[in-house]
């Protein structure tokens, strides 16, 4: 059994957080591979080391002294080392880096040092081997990861060992350091888990899993216990703050379960993400896994008698939107009409041109645009097996005086999507949460 664990910035923020990490790692023999982020915020208003490193680089670029910011970085890591009684020689590392900075260092290389120092300290603290990501995580010239060579190299360096790996960076073919985009240590963790064929990838953060709804809308939403990769994708597409898809593809590809856990609440099981679940193990009869949504859509409705029977109309309509770079999110349609749901932000700058071209090309009976529409999606793999799920959802929204302007469902029956007025958005989410998840009245 092998578990690959990734600890985010808040888990690495200070000595007491590192102590929690150590007790989590040592609690199970299978936790042999640890990937870390740079030290994050200790309290609100504090600074992430990565942000300070970007700031240092900006100072260097404009020829302004970065001594003050640099000192904050040095002090943070030195105090972690000293408080934990470690012997890591940070002084000569810092001196060498300062020299490089004065000689001219790339932004990517400088900001990657946050993860590098964090991993050096963690390796020392755990008594694990430090495996530099510069040695195994290879990028191709186009900036994507060379999975084959990276996996092979990590297996060579880490197989059968206890290792700590810095997240966020790797090397380009010319040996220079390249980082992922912000938050990229999650990807390093997933790549390491995939390379080593881990049994599970544990992503340790400061929340006990993904929440069933946005906590800014619903008070204290419950965390999702189990979710499939497809459901996660639906939720994140529609606006939920969950892991980015790019983060999970290496583990999804290898069918490795991903478990989101909370360093500050290590006994909480968090959220388990898998390709599929044995539905027999489901304990409750909830059919919604999570609720998410977004505001500010425009709906362009085109009506033309006999439209369904005319070949090519939909293609012509979509070509016009494509020409103006407007993504079509949903296409509810009737016999004589079709609606295009588009993000208002994208459509607004070219709306009149688009309408003009539609008029000219399609010669419709009517075109009208509805603004200020919000989309709310109830996502749940169990909806496909539960007769009446959609009926219940619509009825509940209706009973709560929420006018449904549009209904659509994906072909996989993973979600039910309703369009409501922007003004009803928050209420629709609360009503769905209270009725189908919480099962009791809630105020916010």
Q: Residues in the site for ligand ASP, rule: CB under 6 A?
A: 9, 37-38, 48, 50, 114, 167-168, 182-186
Least CB distance from residue 189 to ligand ASP, whole Å? Answer: 9
Least CB distance from residue 370 to ligand ASP, whole Å? Answer: 39
DSSP structural state of residue 319: H
CA-CA distance, 46 to 40, in Å (whole number)?
A: 8
Judged by beta carbon, residue 167 or residue 364, the one nearer ligand ASP is 167
Least CB distance from residue 361 to ligand ASP, whole Å? Answer: 46
Judged by beta carbon, residue 108 or residue 413, the one nearer ligand ASP is 108
Judged by beta carbon, residue 37 or residue 415, the one nearer ligand ASP is 37
CA-CA distance, 389 to 287, in Å (whole number)?
A: 8
**179 with 112: CB under 8 angstroms?**
yes
Q: What's the maximum distance between 2 C-alpha atoms anywhere in the chain?
A: 79
Residues with Cβ within 8 Å of residue 407, at least 6 apart in sequence:
332, 390, 394, 416, 417, 418, 419
Q: What does the H/E/C string look like for 65-79?
A: CCHHHHHHHHHHHHH
For 143, counting Cβ atoms within 10 Å of its Cβ (0-12 exposed, 13-18 middle, 19+ buried), the class is exposed
CA-CA distance, 421 to 404, in Å (whole number)?
A: 8
Judged by beta carbon, residue 3 or residue 48, the one nearer ligand ASP is 48
Least CB distance from residue 16 to ligand ASP, whole Å? Answer: 19
- DSSP states of 177-213: EEE-STTTHHHHHHHHHHHTT-SEEEEEESSSS-BSS
The backbone torsions φ and ψ at residue 35, rounded to the nearest 5 degrees and listed phi first, read -110, 135
Judged by beta carbon, residue 210 or residue 425, the one nearer ligand ASP is 210
Judged by beta carbon, residue 75 or residue 365, the one nearer ligand ASP is 75
Which residues is 6 bridged to in the sheet? 35, 203
Least CB distance from residue 202 to ligand ASP, whole Å? Answer: 15
Judged by beta carbon, residue 50 or residue 339, the one nearer ligand ASP is 50
Name the 3-class secondary structure at 330: strand
**341 with 266: CB under 8 angstroms?**
no
Judged by beta carbon, residue 37 or residue 228, the one nearer ligand ASP is 37
Query: How big is the CA angle at 382 (ends 378 and 387), to the nearest 5 degrees?
Result: 90
Judged by beta carbon, residue 114 or residue 221, the one nearer ligand ASP is 114
Judged by beta carbon, residue 50 or residue 313, the one nearer ligand ASP is 50
**164 with 34: CB under 8 angstroms?**
yes
Least CB distance from residue 50 to ligand ASP, whole Å? Answer: 4
Least CB distance from residue 112 to ligand ASP, whole Å? Answer: 9
Judged by beta carbon, residue 184 or residue 270, the one nearer ligand ASP is 184
Side-chain-side CA neighbours of residue 187 (13 Å): 22
CA-CA distance, 440 to 249, in Å (whole number)?
A: 37
Least CB distance from residue 181 to ligand ASP, whole Å? Answer: 8
Q: Where does 299-403 have alpha helices with state H?
A: 313-323, 344-347, 351-362, 389-399
CA-CA distance, 440 to 308, in Å (whole number)?
A: 44
Least CB distance from residue 126 to ligand ASP, whole Å? Answer: 19
Least CB distance from residue 57 to ligand ASP, whole Å? Answer: 14
Judged by beta carbon, residue 45 or residue 387, the one nearer ligand ASP is 45
**362 with 316: CB under 8 angstroms?**
yes
Least CB distance from residue 13 to ligand ASP, whole Å? Answer: 11
- DSSP states of 371-393: EEEEEEEEE-GGGGGSTTHHHHH
Least CB distance from residue 12 to ligand ASP, whole Å? Answer: 9
């Amino acid at each position: 059994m092998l578990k690959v664990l990734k600890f985010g910035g808040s888990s690495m923020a200070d000595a007491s957080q590192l102590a929690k990490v150590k007790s989590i790692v040592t609690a199970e023999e299978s936790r042999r591979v640890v990937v870390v982020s740079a030290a994050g915020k200790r309290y609100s208003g504090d600074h992430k080391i990565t942000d300070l490193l970007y700031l240092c680089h900006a100072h260097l670029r404009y020829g302004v002294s970065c001594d003050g910011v640099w000192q904050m970085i040095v002090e943070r890591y030195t105090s972690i080392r000293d408080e934990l009684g470690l012997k890591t020689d940070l002084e000569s590392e810092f001196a060498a880096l300062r020299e490089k900075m004065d000689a001219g260092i790339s932004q990517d290389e400088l900001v990657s040092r946050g993860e590098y120092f964090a991993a050096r300290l963690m390796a020392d603290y755990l008594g694990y081997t430090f495996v530099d990501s510069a040695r195994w995580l290879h990028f191709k010239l186009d900036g994507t990861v060379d999975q084959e060579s990276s996996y092979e190299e990590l297996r060579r360096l880490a197989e059968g060992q206890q290792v700590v790996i810095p997240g966020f960076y790797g090397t380009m073919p010319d040996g220079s350091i390249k980082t992922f985009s912000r938050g990229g240590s999650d990807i390093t963790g997933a790549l390491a888990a995939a390379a080593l064929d881990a049994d599970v990838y544990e992503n340790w953060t400061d929340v006990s899993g993904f929440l069933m709804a946005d906590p800014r809308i619903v008070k204290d939403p419950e965390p999702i216990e189990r979710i499939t990769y497809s459901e996660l994708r639906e939720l994140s597409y529609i606006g939920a703050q969950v892991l980015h898809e790019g983060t999970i593809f290496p583990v999804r590809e290898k069918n490795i379960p991903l478990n989101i856990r909370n360093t500050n609440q290590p006994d909480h099981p968090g959220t388990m993400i898998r390709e599929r679940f044995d539905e027999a193990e489901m304990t409750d009869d909830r059919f919604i896994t999570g609720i998410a949504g977004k505001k500010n859509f425009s709906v362009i409705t085109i009506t033309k008698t006999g439209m369904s029977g005319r070949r090519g109309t939909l293609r012509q309509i979509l070509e016009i939107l494509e020409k103006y770079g407007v993504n079509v999110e949903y296409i509810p349609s009737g016999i004589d009409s079709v609606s295009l749901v588009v993000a208002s932000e994208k459509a607004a700058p070219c709306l009149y041109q688009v309408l003009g071209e539609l008029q000219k090309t399609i010669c419709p009976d009517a075109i009208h645009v509805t603004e200020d529409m919000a989309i709310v999606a109830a996502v749940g793999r169990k909806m496909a097996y539960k007769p009446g799920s959609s009926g219940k959802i619509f009825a509940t929204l209706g009973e709560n005086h929420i006018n449904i302007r549009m209904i659509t469902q994906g072909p996989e029956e993973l979600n039910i999507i309703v369009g409501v007025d922007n003004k009803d958005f928050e209420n629709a989410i609360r009503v769905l949460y209270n009725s189908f998840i919480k099962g009791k009245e809630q105020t916010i």
